Amino acid sequence: MKSRHFIAIAIFWLIPFPLLAQSFQIDVVDAVTSENGDTGLARAFVDLPAMNTIVWLNVVSSDESEVTASGILGFTATSPTGLPITIRGIDDLEVDGDQTVTITVSVDPDRTTDPSFLLAQPVSFNVTNLDNDFESVPLSPWVPLVLVVLCALTAAAFIAQR
Ligand SMILES: [Ca+2]
Ligand SMILES: [Ca+2]
Ligand SMILES: [Ca+2]
């Protein structure tokens, strides 16, 4: 065997598997939601899966009482790229301020049928859910008294005019 052929075969077998690994990217379009119903948006771009396989991405929120995200996305070789991940802010009754939640997207290893995606690293990003609850300001005890005095003065002025 010529040494050139031997080197070519050796390089072929020495290519580490991670170099062959497929992965995905997340493009965060809108990372702000609100308790008033304003939604956020991210898009998932997946490398081309092998024919007749499906790559499943799980989308998980670190706090579903604040923010939820569309749970699972499936990609085939013919899927459009940039599938949307819809992110929703949850309305609560607490004066809890704006809350930041982490959304994590990862390959579902149990359902994905293209093994070249199994080493893809999870991607996380933060979403802020704007609060819409406010502390009620307690009325000063003087306000009713001032109103009574004003009413009395108005009545006295009205009577004096007649
Ligand atoms: Ca609320
Ligand atoms: Ca909240
Ligand atoms: Ca709130």
CATH of the domain at 143: 2.60.40.2030
- At 68 the three-state DSSP class reads strand
Strands 99-107 and 123-130: antiparallel
Residue 142: inside a domain, yes or no?
yes
Closest listed ligand to the CA of 128 = 2
Q: How far apart are the first and last CA of the chain?
A: 126
Residue 32 CA, distance from chain mean position: 8
Q: Work out the average pLDDT over 103-125.
A: 97
Distance 34 CA to ligand 2 centre (A): 8
Instruction: Name the residues around ion ligand 3, CB cutoff 5 A.
Output: 92, 94, 96, 131, 133
- Of the ranges 11-15, 80-84, 102-106, 110-114, which one carries the lowest mean pLDDT score? 11-15
pLDDT band of residue 146 (cuts 50, 70, 90) is confident
Distance 81 CA to ligand 3 centre (A): 35
Domain count for the chain: 1
Amino acid at site 162: R
Nearest to 100 by CA among 121, 123, 124: 124
| Percentage of the residues of the chain whose pLDDT score is greater than 90 | 70
Full domain range(s) for residue 32? 17-161
Going from the Cα of 110 to the center of ligand 3, the distance in angstroms, rounded, reads: 37
